[in-house]
Amino acid sequence: AALTPAPSAPSVQVLLAMAKRPSGAGEGPEENGQQVKRLKGAEGDAGDQNKRTPKRKIVLLMAYSGKGYHGMQRNLGSSQFKTIEDDLVAALVQSGCIPENHGEDMKKMSFQRCARTDKGVSAAGQIVSLKVRLIDDILEKINNHLPSHIRILGLKRVTGGFNSKNKCDARTYAYMLPTFAFAHKDHDVQEESYRLSRETLGRVNSLLACYKGTHNFHNFTSQKGPRDPSAKRYIMEMYCGEPFVRENIEFAVIKVKGQSFMMHQIRKMIGLVIAIVKGYAPESIIERSWGEEKVDVPKAPGLGLVLERVHFEKYNRRFGNDGLHEPLEWKEEEEKIAVFKEQHIYPTIINTEREEKSMMSWLNTLSIHDFDSTSAEMEANNKNSKNGDLEGSDGCDDDSD
């Protein structure tokens, strides 16, 4: 092979010109081609940095106020209906965590939400799993591109095959409601001055406890027959906490933990208990609702429903202490979760209830329900009501997600 001749030494004129050039000025291509390549590489370093950053599977702990949104799940075919994921994906792109084309096709980042929340429903402990570039100050940068009523409160690395929906063992929801919902229709005050007695709270909790265990909830959702195996759901706990006063209205919070929930299931479970406590329906209707007979079950308003927490017990037992991954628990974030609820979720529920009186308006419809109606009458009523009901699930509608 021919030898490459050594470059000749620069002339005196060139050396003088280089000496006169201001310090810091770039070298010309005719004087030092190596330097030009180095500068071009430096210019591209910032742009290429993200490309070189490896993607890792993580989970994000999210909290949001759902008012004004058409639920959690993004729907690219209906862009006029804004969702929580629309804002989240935009923030992920703008912060540099994911490439822009991944925002257009969320499968490219292996995105999965743990639970689908309905129009207007809030969350204090939603979990999403996805692959991102682990950039510096990642949580701060994502939150800088999110509105204040949506926050990323925590991040953990997970296994490469982790799927936040499939790996979830259970979900806990909270339902905040004014206690006058439990005022008996015949002999209690039916307004905001009502205060819940110990006796009534005890009765509410005894009724809510009836839901514990595995039951056929076909009467608590739509489009599921009594013999559909997927209508059977397992409820681990359900209770109403101590009442508290906000803005001169007494409220209480019902907690329910279950493996998964169907469309409108939680709101109907609460709606039926309210109908019983108020004196519109007999207690025996709960037991009757498990059977094949169609039962008219009222659906409580969506306002007040909050995805409180999601549980990953099996995953934590297998991977939580393997030395590579952390258990999916959020003890260090508890204070941030509590602050977010106090600042964004509870005020929204309270103020909306005061302005729109959704619970008071709904209570006035209980008298038109026929809790002894026949199956034929129920089918006719369902056909009429489905036309006006465009909401989704009470969280994870895992049959259609």
Tell me: the pLDDT tens digits for 250-290?
A: 999 999 999 999 989 999 999 999 999 999 999 999 999 99
Which one of 118, 188, 296, 397 is the catalytic residue? 118
Clarify whether residues 358 and 235 are in a common domain: yes
Q: For residue 385, is it within any domain? A: no
173 has binding-site annotation = yes
Q: For residue 273, is it within any domain? A: yes
Clarify whether residues 177 and 161 are in a common domain: no
Is residue 118 annotated as part of the catalytic site, yes or no? Answer: yes
CATH at 193: 3.30.70.660
pLDDT band at 33 (very low <50, low <70, confident <90, very high): very low
Average pLDDT, the chain: 84
Clarify whether residues 186 and 109 are in a common domain: no
For residues 82-86, give the mean pLDDT: 93
Q: For residue 90, is it within any domain? A: yes
Clarify whether residues 205 and 104 are in a common domain: no
Q: Which domain holds residue 228?
A: 170-312+325-374
Clarify whether residues 243 and 359 are in a common domain: yes
For residues 355-379, give the mean pLDDT: 81
For residues 198-214, give the mean pLDDT: 98
Number of domains the chain contains: 2
Q: In the listed set 112, 143, 167, which residue is the last one of a domain according to the structure?
A: 167
pLDDT at 147: 96
Clarify whether residues 362 and 215 are in a common domain: yes
Tell me: the pLDDT tens digits for 50-59?
A: 556 778 999 9
Clarify whether residues 115 and 68 are in a common domain: yes
Q: For residue 401, is it within any domain? A: no
Clarify whether residues 183 and 153 are in a common domain: no
Clarify whether residues 354 and 239 are in a common domain: yes
For residues 377-397, give the mean pLDDT: 45
Residue among 275, 274, 177, 264 at smallest CA distance from 217: 264
> Is 118 or 217 the better-scoring residue by pLDDT?
217
Clarify whether residues 112 and 187 are in a common domain: no
CATH at 132: 3.30.70.580
Clarify whether residues 140 and 193 are in a common domain: no
Q: Can you list the alpha helix ranges (DSSP code H) found in 53-99?
A: 84-94
How many other CB atoms are there within 10 angstroms of residue 86's CB atom? 18
pLDDT at 102: 83
The answer to whether residue 390 scores a pLDDT higher than 80 is: no
pLDDT band at 34 (very low <50, low <70, confident <90, very high): very low
Q: For residue 232, is it within any domain? A: yes
Q: For residue 37, is it within any domain? A: no
For residues 287-309, give the mean pLDDT: 94
The answer to whether residue 4 scores a pLDDT higher than 60 is: no
Residue 158 neighbours by CB under 8 Å, 6+ apart = 57, 58, 59, 129, 319, 325, 328
Which whole-number Å values give the CA distances from 16 to 19, 158, 301, in the listed order? Answer: 5, 60, 83
pLDDT above 90 covers a percentage of the chain that reads 66
Length of the chain: 401
The answer to whether residue 91 scores a pLDDT higher than 70 is: yes
